[in-house]
């Protein structure tokens, strides 16, 4: 039950941890200028995440979602695995390049143009990436909501220690991802600082 508790929030915790740096700063910010996508992404992310989760929980309370409990637990896990694969594929194969060489088939060109006193940009790749990311989040949290409700419903038939293990697992999940983010950030910043120090002239 402890591992199930960790797995309940693991996909969401991983996504929300990388969102500010990868999506807002890397994908939706151009030359230090935040686009409308960057400014609205975190708000849209919260709405896209919570509404499907709430709907899945509400429908589950009404017992509209029936079927085998094993299927209701395993199916969301499979969906979340596919979501993780989709996210990794986008991260690996899709890059917000200026010339759009790496854009997908539907939007293969990213155009920049200069207008009077400031840069303006037309970013079809940014648009579809924004939409696809939110759709992935909606699917992830809908399946996560079903998985979470099913697991807690299963634990409710056992002694309270099982439910406690689930709650502890959800807490461990958030803590683990936070520690991992700190370690990763420290590992990335140390070589950069080391190179800067090595390049400075000695007095």
Q: What is the pLDDT of residues 166-203, one digit of tens each?
A: 889 888 988 888 888 888 888 775 544 444 344 444 44
- pLDDT for the residue 64: 61
In the block, residue with structure tokens 């088939």: 105
Residue 166 near residue 5, CB atoms below 8 Å: yes
Per-residue model confidence as pLDDT tens digits over 19-73: 888 889 888 888 888 888 899 999 999 999 999 988 888 887 777 666 677 788 8
Interatomic CA distance for residues 151 and 69, integer angstroms:
9
The two structure tokens encoding residue 10: 């693991």
The sign of the dihedral angle between the CA atoms of 173, 176, 182, 183 is negative
- pLDDT for the residue 43: 93
pLDDT for residue 17 is more than 50: yes
- pLDDT for the residue 189: 57
* Confidence band of 116 (pLDDT split at 50, 70, 90): very low
4-8, 108-112, 173-177, 199-203: least confidently modelled range: 108-112
pLDDT for residue 97 is more than 70: no
């Amino acid at each position: 039950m402890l591992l199930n508790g960790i797995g309940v929030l693991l996909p969401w915790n991983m996504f929300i941890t990388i969102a500010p740096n990868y999506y807002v700063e890397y994908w939706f910010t151009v030359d230090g200028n935040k686009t409308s996508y960057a400014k609205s992404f975190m708000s849209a992310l919260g709405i896209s995440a919570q509404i499907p989760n709430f709907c899945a929980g509400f429908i589950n309370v009404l017992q509209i979602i029936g079927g085998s409990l094993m299927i209701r637990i395993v199916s969301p896990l499979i969906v979340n695995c596919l979501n993780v694969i989709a996210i990794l594929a986008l991260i690996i194969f899709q890059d917000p390049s200026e010339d759009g060489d790496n854009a997908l088939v539907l939007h293969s060109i990213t155009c920049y143009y200069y207008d009077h006193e400031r840069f303006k940009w037309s970013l079809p790749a940014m648009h579809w990436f924004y939409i696809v990311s939110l759709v992935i989040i909606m699917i992830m949290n809908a399946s996560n909501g079903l998985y979470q409700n099913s697991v807690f419903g299963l634990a409710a038939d056992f002694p309270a220690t099982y439910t406690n293990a689930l709650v502890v697992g959800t807490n461990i999940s958030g803590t683990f991802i936070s520690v991992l983010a700190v370690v990763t950030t420290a590992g990335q910043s140390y070589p950069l600082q080391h190179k800067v120090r090595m390049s400075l002239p000695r007095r």
